[in-house]
Amino acid sequence: MSDITVKDKVFTEFISKKEMNLIVTSLAKKVETVFKDKNPIFIVMLNGAFVFASDFLRSLERPYETLFVRYSSYSGMQTTGNVVTSEIPEVVKGRHIVILEDIVDSGLTMDVFKKNLTKMRPESITLVALLSKPSARKVNVSIDFIGKEIGDKFVVGYGLDYDGVGRNLPAIYVLKE
Protein backbone atom coordinates (compact mmCIF):
# COMPACT_ATOMS: atom_id res chain seq x y z
CA MET A 1 0.00 0.00 0.00
CA SER A 2 1.37 3.38 -0.90
CA ASP A 3 1.62 6.26 1.56
CA ILE A 4 1.14 9.90 0.70
CA THR A 5 1.89 13.09 2.62
CA VAL A 6 -0.77 15.78 2.62
CA LYS A 7 0.50 18.93 4.31
CA ASP A 8 1.82 17.76 7.71
CA LYS A 9 0.11 14.33 7.83
CA VAL A 10 0.81 10.91 6.35
CA PHE A 11 -2.04 8.96 4.78
CA THR A 12 -2.17 5.42 3.44
CA GLU A 13 -4.22 4.09 0.52
CA PHE A 14 -7.55 2.74 1.75
CA ILE A 15 -9.95 2.43 -1.20
CA SER A 16 -8.23 2.09 -4.59
CA LYS A 17 -9.16 4.01 -7.73
CA LYS A 18 -10.46 0.74 -9.22
CA GLU A 19 -12.66 -0.01 -6.20
CA MET A 20 -14.00 3.58 -6.22
CA ASN A 21 -14.98 3.13 -9.83
CA LEU A 22 -16.86 -0.11 -9.07
CA ILE A 23 -18.62 1.44 -6.06
CA VAL A 24 -19.73 4.52 -7.98
CA THR A 25 -20.89 2.79 -11.16
CA SER A 26 -22.87 0.23 -9.17
CA LEU A 27 -24.49 3.00 -7.08
CA ALA A 28 -25.42 4.90 -10.25
CA LYS A 29 -26.99 1.80 -11.77
CA LYS A 30 -29.11 1.12 -8.66
CA VAL A 31 -30.27 4.73 -8.39
CA GLU A 32 -31.09 5.03 -12.09
CA THR A 33 -33.17 1.84 -11.97
CA VAL A 34 -35.39 3.49 -9.36
CA PHE A 35 -35.48 7.03 -10.79
CA LYS A 36 -35.28 6.78 -14.57
CA ASP A 37 -39.00 7.43 -15.10
CA LYS A 38 -39.40 9.96 -12.25
CA ASN A 39 -37.70 13.00 -13.76
CA PRO A 40 -35.50 13.54 -10.67
CA ILE A 41 -33.26 16.49 -9.90
CA PHE A 42 -29.79 15.56 -8.65
CA ILE A 43 -28.37 17.92 -6.03
CA VAL A 44 -24.59 17.87 -5.64
CA MET A 45 -23.24 18.86 -2.21
CA LEU A 46 -20.20 21.05 -2.76
CA ASN A 47 -17.36 21.02 -2.27
CA GLY A 48 -16.60 17.44 -1.29
CA ALA A 49 -19.03 15.61 -3.60
CA PHE A 50 -17.77 17.17 -6.83
CA VAL A 51 -15.58 14.21 -7.89
CA PHE A 52 -18.11 11.58 -6.81
CA ALA A 53 -20.95 13.43 -8.55
CA SER A 54 -18.94 13.89 -11.71
CA ASP A 55 -18.28 10.14 -12.03
CA PHE A 56 -21.74 9.15 -10.78
CA LEU A 57 -23.65 11.45 -13.13
CA ARG A 58 -21.59 10.40 -16.14
CA SER A 59 -22.44 6.75 -15.40
CA LEU A 60 -26.15 7.48 -15.84
CA GLU A 61 -27.64 6.67 -19.21
CA ARG A 62 -30.38 9.28 -19.54
CA PRO A 63 -30.21 13.09 -19.34
CA TYR A 64 -31.18 14.66 -15.98
CA GLU A 65 -31.24 18.03 -14.23
CA THR A 66 -28.42 18.79 -11.80
CA LEU A 67 -28.14 21.51 -9.15
CA PHE A 68 -25.32 22.46 -6.84
CA VAL A 69 -25.46 23.68 -3.25
CA ARG A 70 -22.69 24.41 -0.84
CA TYR A 71 -22.92 23.20 2.75
CA SER A 72 -19.96 22.85 5.03
CA SER A 73 -19.26 21.98 8.63
CA TYR A 74 -15.66 20.77 8.56
CA SER A 75 -12.56 22.70 9.45
CA GLY A 76 -9.19 20.89 9.18
CA MET A 77 -9.93 17.37 10.41
CA GLN A 78 -12.96 18.08 12.57
CA THR A 79 -16.61 18.81 12.23
CA THR A 80 -17.37 22.21 13.74
CA GLY A 81 -21.01 21.43 14.49
CA ASN A 82 -21.81 24.70 12.75
CA VAL A 83 -23.29 24.14 9.30
CA VAL A 84 -22.76 26.91 6.75
CA THR A 85 -25.54 26.82 4.18
CA SER A 86 -26.32 28.13 0.70
CA GLU A 87 -29.77 28.79 -0.77
CA ILE A 88 -31.80 25.96 -2.31
CA PRO A 89 -33.40 26.89 -5.69
CA GLU A 90 -37.23 27.06 -5.88
CA VAL A 91 -37.35 24.51 -8.73
CA VAL A 92 -37.12 21.65 -6.23
CA LYS A 93 -40.78 22.17 -5.30
CA GLY A 94 -42.88 19.14 -6.28
CA ARG A 95 -39.89 17.23 -7.70
CA HIS A 96 -38.13 14.01 -6.77
CA ILE A 97 -34.77 15.07 -5.31
CA VAL A 98 -31.71 12.84 -5.20
CA ILE A 99 -28.91 14.25 -3.00
CA LEU A 100 -25.33 13.29 -3.86
CA GLU A 101 -23.13 13.57 -0.75
CA ASP A 102 -19.48 12.59 -0.32
CA ILE A 103 -19.53 11.33 3.27
CA VAL A 104 -21.91 11.32 6.23
CA ASP A 105 -19.94 11.64 9.46
CA SER A 106 -21.72 13.22 12.48
CA GLY A 107 -24.80 13.58 10.25
CA LEU A 108 -25.22 17.26 11.19
CA THR A 109 -24.77 18.61 7.65
CA MET A 110 -27.32 16.25 6.12
CA ASP A 111 -29.72 16.76 9.01
CA VAL A 112 -29.74 20.52 8.42
CA PHE A 113 -29.83 20.19 4.63
CA LYS A 114 -32.71 17.68 4.59
CA LYS A 115 -34.73 19.90 6.95
CA ASN A 116 -34.15 22.95 4.75
CA LEU A 117 -34.97 20.97 1.62
CA THR A 118 -38.18 19.62 3.17
CA LYS A 119 -39.34 23.24 3.71
CA MET A 120 -39.14 23.71 -0.09
CA ARG A 121 -41.78 20.95 -0.51
CA PRO A 122 -40.18 18.50 -2.93
CA GLU A 123 -42.18 15.39 -3.90
CA SER A 124 -39.53 13.11 -2.34
CA ILE A 125 -35.99 13.24 -0.94
CA THR A 126 -33.46 10.44 -1.48
CA LEU A 127 -29.97 10.53 -0.04
CA VAL A 128 -27.06 8.87 -1.84
CA ALA A 129 -23.83 8.93 0.17
CA LEU A 130 -20.57 7.65 -1.24
CA LEU A 131 -19.21 6.95 2.25
CA SER A 132 -20.75 6.71 5.70
CA LYS A 133 -19.19 6.56 9.17
CA PRO A 134 -22.03 5.04 11.25
CA SER A 135 -19.99 5.00 14.47
CA ALA A 136 -19.40 8.79 14.25
CA ARG A 137 -23.08 9.73 14.08
CA LYS A 138 -24.36 12.46 16.43
CA VAL A 139 -27.77 12.78 14.81
CA ASN A 140 -29.75 10.09 13.07
CA VAL A 141 -29.80 10.49 9.29
CA SER A 142 -31.43 7.98 7.02
CA ILE A 143 -29.30 7.20 3.95
CA ASP A 144 -31.09 5.49 1.06
CA PHE A 145 -28.03 4.38 -0.93
CA ILE A 146 -24.54 3.96 0.60
CA GLY A 147 -21.39 3.32 -1.43
CA LYS A 148 -19.33 2.02 1.49
CA GLU A 149 -19.39 2.15 5.28
CA ILE A 150 -16.10 2.98 6.98
CA GLY A 151 -14.87 3.35 10.58
CA ASP A 152 -14.52 6.64 12.41
CA LYS A 153 -11.30 7.61 10.58
CA PHE A 154 -10.30 10.76 8.72
CA VAL A 155 -10.01 10.19 4.96
CA VAL A 156 -8.86 12.30 2.00
CA GLY A 157 -8.97 12.03 -1.79
CA TYR A 158 -11.69 11.58 -4.40
CA GLY A 159 -13.06 15.05 -3.61
CA LEU A 160 -12.30 15.02 0.13
CA ASP A 161 -9.65 17.41 1.44
CA TYR A 162 -7.39 17.91 4.39
CA ASP A 163 -7.39 21.66 4.99
CA GLY A 164 -7.99 22.43 1.30
CA VAL A 165 -5.48 19.89 -0.04
CA GLY A 166 -5.87 16.42 -1.61
CA ARG A 167 -9.27 16.61 -3.33
CA ASN A 168 -7.63 15.64 -6.61
CA LEU A 169 -6.30 12.25 -5.44
CA PRO A 170 -8.07 9.49 -7.44
CA ALA A 171 -8.17 6.98 -4.53
CA ILE A 172 -9.28 7.38 -0.90
CA TYR A 173 -6.52 7.60 1.70
CA VAL A 174 -6.84 7.19 5.46
CA LEU A 175 -4.85 9.03 8.12
CA LYS A 176 -1.96 6.93 9.39
CA GLU A 177 -2.02 6.82 13.18
Residues that bind ligand 5GP (CB under 6 A): 48, 73-74, 79, 101-109, 154-156, 160-162
Nearer to ligand 5GP, 39 or 78 (CB): 78
Residue 144 a catalytic site member = no
Q: Considering the complex, state which of residue 40 and residue 48 has its C-beta at the smaller distance from ligand 5GP.
A: 48
Count of Cβ atoms closer than 10 Å to residue 60 Cβ:
15
Pick the catalytic residue from 55, 102, 105, 161.
105
- Per-residue burial over 88-118, b = 16 or more CB atoms within 10 Å of its CB, e = otherwise: beeebeebbbbbbbbbbbbbbbbbbbbebbe
Nearer to ligand 5GP, 8 or 61 (CB): 8
Shortest gap between Cβ of 107 and ligand 5GP (angstroms)? 5
Shortest Cβ 90–ligand 5GP spacing (Å): 24
CB of 128 to ligand 5GP, least distance (A): 13
Q: For residue 99, what are the β-bridge partners?
A: 43, 127
Residues tagged active-site? 105
